[in-house]
Amino acid sequence: MPNVYAVIMAGGVGSRFWPRSREKSPKQLLEILERGTMIQNTVKRIESLVDPTRTLVVTNRVQKAAIAKQLPKLPQGNIIVEPIGRNTAPCIALAALFIRRLDPAAVMIVLPADHIMQDADEFRRILRLAVEVAEESKTLVTVGIQPTRPETGYGYIQVREEQDGGNPWSPRGVRTVKTFAEKPNLETARKFLASGDFYWNSGMFVWRVDTILDQIERQLPDMWKELQRVDAAIGSDNFDHVLENAYRIIRPISIDYGVMEKAKSVFVIPGKFGWSDVGSWDEVVRLSGKDDAGNSVKGTTYLLQTNNTFIDAGDTFVAAIGVEDLVIIATPDAVLVCRQGASQDVKEVVDFLRRKQMTEYL
């Protein structure tokens, strides 16, 4: 087994969980669906695979202190702060540079900080397999999710037919990527689902540090140039300064678009472990336990003649009378009342607040 490092990407500002999520307390720092915050559970879920001392978090200035507090087992130096968000490619490259200094042959697992997996054992089994494949094949590996509905909110990964050579892990379920597909419309999503050879792009990756850095050097030479300066400054007094200058120049680009889609060879390991990116209140409702009336409540509440309603009362008290099919989220200064199925429009509220510069509610 190689040295395995985890990189948790925790830069998201997540406006879709307003009013519970705010700029200073985005989704990954909140308790959603499970005990413990999402980032705590992300670290804990893989702890038997990756020791917290080998777990790195990439985040921004606003969240750093909260993350350090929520993850006391992580050495302070493991929390890497990006001066500005530049999407996932620079984030992953930066973390890879840090890991290369410790072990150039290490394998790194890249995980978003705000996903849940209901079957953590199966999730770890898939990751172990991915580490083995990434180590031996020196190829990019991604985890695909067996789709359960024609979701239009995710990218898809199409796999090749099995007959091709060059994939000795095929009998263990590892597939070769044929193509990456952007978020489809509903019609296309239905076709993807029916075809059986499309998987959801989960945004979880496993690869050797040298493999990914080699790919970045080839596919993103401009970024690579800036990152060379950053690499040289790691551990020096002017690291922050160098990083800031580099990030000013680096253009935002996702690892999918910048690297994965252009790579000659990518393996995908399809997983079925109750994954969700918990992308909206509706998804939280879907995943929550319900009582006989279809209600799901968190916090102190009183329900009368109320059905199929989700309430997160936070530190307040919420009373619901005679209502149904609602999502009610209360905080001391802001309240959301939303019809179930319409929670994707929560971002409209956040846009409104930004437009009106009502920053106290952001």
What angle, rounded to 10 degrees, do the helices at 221-233 and 209-219 form? 130
Is position 127 an interface residue for a copy of itself (rule: CB under 8 A)? no
Q: Which residue stretch of 104-112, 219-227, 261-269, 345-353 sits at the interface with a copy of itself (rule: CB under 8 A)?
A: 345-353
Going by C-alpha positions, the residue among 201, 215, 189 that lies closest to residue 89 is 215
Is position 105 an interface residue for a copy of itself (rule: CB under 8 A)? no
For a copy of itself, which residue of 69, 76, 333, 359 counts as binding (CB under 8 A)? 333
Beta strand 175-181 with 266-271: parallel, antiparallel or unpaired? antiparallel
Smaller CB distance to a copy of itself: residue 131 or 353?
353
Using CA of residue 53, residue 55, residue 60, residue 62, what is the dihedral sign? Answer: negative
Q: Report how far residue 110's alpha carbon sits from residue 92's, in angstroms, rounded to the nearest whole number.
A: 8
Is position 75 an interface residue for a copy of itself (rule: CB under 8 A)? no
168: Cβ contacts below 8 Å, ≥ 6 apart: none
For a copy of itself, which residue of 305, 307, 308, 357 counts as binding (CB under 8 A)? 305
Restricted to residues 12-51, the positions that interact with a copy of itself (CB under 8 A) are 18-19
Query: b/e per residue, 193-202, with b = 16+ CB within 10 A?
Result: beeeebbbbb
Smaller CB distance to a copy of itself: residue 193 or 349?
349
User: Residue 91, exposed/middle/buried by CB under 10 A (0-12, 13-18, 19+)?
Assistant: buried
The least CB distance from residue 356 to a copy of itself, in Å, is 9
Structural tokens at position 109: 């697992």
Cα of first residue to Cα of last residue in the chain, in angstroms, is 45
Q: Report how far residue 103's alpha carbon sits from residue 199's, in angstroms, rounded to the nearest whole number.
A: 32
Is position 134 an interface residue for a copy of itself (rule: CB under 8 A)? no
The least CB distance from residue 306 to a copy of itself, in Å, is 9
Is position 204 an interface residue for a copy of itself (rule: CB under 8 A)? no
Smaller CB distance to a copy of itself: residue 152 or 316?
316
101: Cβ contacts below 8 Å, ≥ 6 apart: 234, 235
User: Residue 233, exposed/middle/buried by CB under 10 A (0-12, 13-18, 19+)?
Assistant: middle
Q: Quick check: 155 and 261 in contact, CB under 8 A?
A: no
Is position 297 an interface residue for a copy of itself (rule: CB under 8 A)? no
The least CB distance from residue 346 to a copy of itself, in Å, is 7
The least CB distance from residue 75 to a copy of itself, in Å, is 39
| Rg of the chain, C-alpha, whole Å | 21
Per-residue interface string for the shown chain with a copy of itself, residues 248-287, x marking contact by CB under 8 A: ----------------------------------------
Is position 293 an interface residue for a copy of itself (rule: CB under 8 A)? no
The least CB distance from residue 24 to a copy of itself, in Å, is 16
Smaller CB distance to a copy of itself: residue 227 or 320?
320
Using CA of residue 177, residue 107, residue 205, residue 91, what is the dihedral sign? Answer: negative
Smaller CB distance to a copy of itself: residue 186 or 335?
335
Structural tokens at position 61: 């200035």
The least CB distance from residue 282 to a copy of itself, in Å, is 11
Site residues for a copy of itself per CB under 8 A: 18-19, 300, 302, 304-305, 313, 315-323, 326, 328, 330, 332-339, 341-343, 345-346, 348-349, 352-353, 358, 361
